Structures are given as structure tokens and as C-alpha cells.
Structure 1
């Protein structure tokens, strides 16, 4: 007698292997999609420190500056108008 260690015991191994394979494939797909997707709710990572123009634009976007203040500071930076 084999007491469950014969063919019947190994008959389910193909199912376990298939489930593991599917899990690995799903994990790889999720990781690739997340790494390639644009970040949502996060600021883009820049290389280096932000420029004065970038900081000025952010302050204006947050409403910390009026349009007149923004134009004056932009003019002082040499950025136009």
C-alpha cells in the first residue's frame, strides 16, 4: 500500500503548478503596469532642485500671489510680460 503517496497524491500537482504560474504572471503584469503608468496624485519627480520660475508658478497656482504680483515677479526673473 502507498497510503496516498502514489499516483493519486501527485495527480493534483499540475493544478498547484498552474496556480503558481498564473500568480507569478499576474504579479509581473501588475508590477509592469504600475511602473509604466503615470503617477496619480503625486508630483512628478524632477532631477535637481526646482527653479525660481517653477516655484513662482506653483505659488500662483495655489493662489498665494495675485496676477499682478505674479507678473511683476516674473518680470524680475526675466521671464516675460
Structure 2
């Protein structure tokens, strides 16, 4: 399994109890995957922190009804992916 697929598996596990529609779930996955890809392509001093903040901001705007804890879990998973890989 490649890294993006592994990340998606972890993200889906974190979203399991979120009760999102399939379209909303796919949009959340796209936000997370896109943020990870974008931050990896940039030369920033703290890529883990950057992706975590980007995901929190984007999900706050794109999925405002998503529980704060779930958004935090997703952001941390993206941070781990950028820093260490899953």
C-alpha cells in the first residue's frame, strides 16, 4: 500500500463515527490529501505544523459541522504523514 492510500485508511478510520455523507467524507479526504501534497511541495521551515494548521483551517471552512476533535485528529494524521510518513 502506498503512502497516500495508507493516509486515507487512517483518515477513514478517524472519520468512521463522524456520520458524514459519502460526498462530505470524500471532500474531507480531498482536503487532507491536497494539503499534504501542497505542503510537501513547499520549502517551509516546519512542514508538520504548516499542514496541521492548513487542514484545521480548511476543514473549519469546508466542513464546519465536523466535530472539533475529529478535525484535530485528521490534522494530526496529516502532520504525522508529512513528518514521518504513515
Q: Structure 1 length normalisation: TM-score?
A: 0.25
Q: Structure 2 length normalisation: TM-score?
A: 0.24
Higher Rg:
1
- Identify, as 1 or 2, the structure richer in helix: 2
Higher relative contact order (CA 8 A, sep 6+): 2
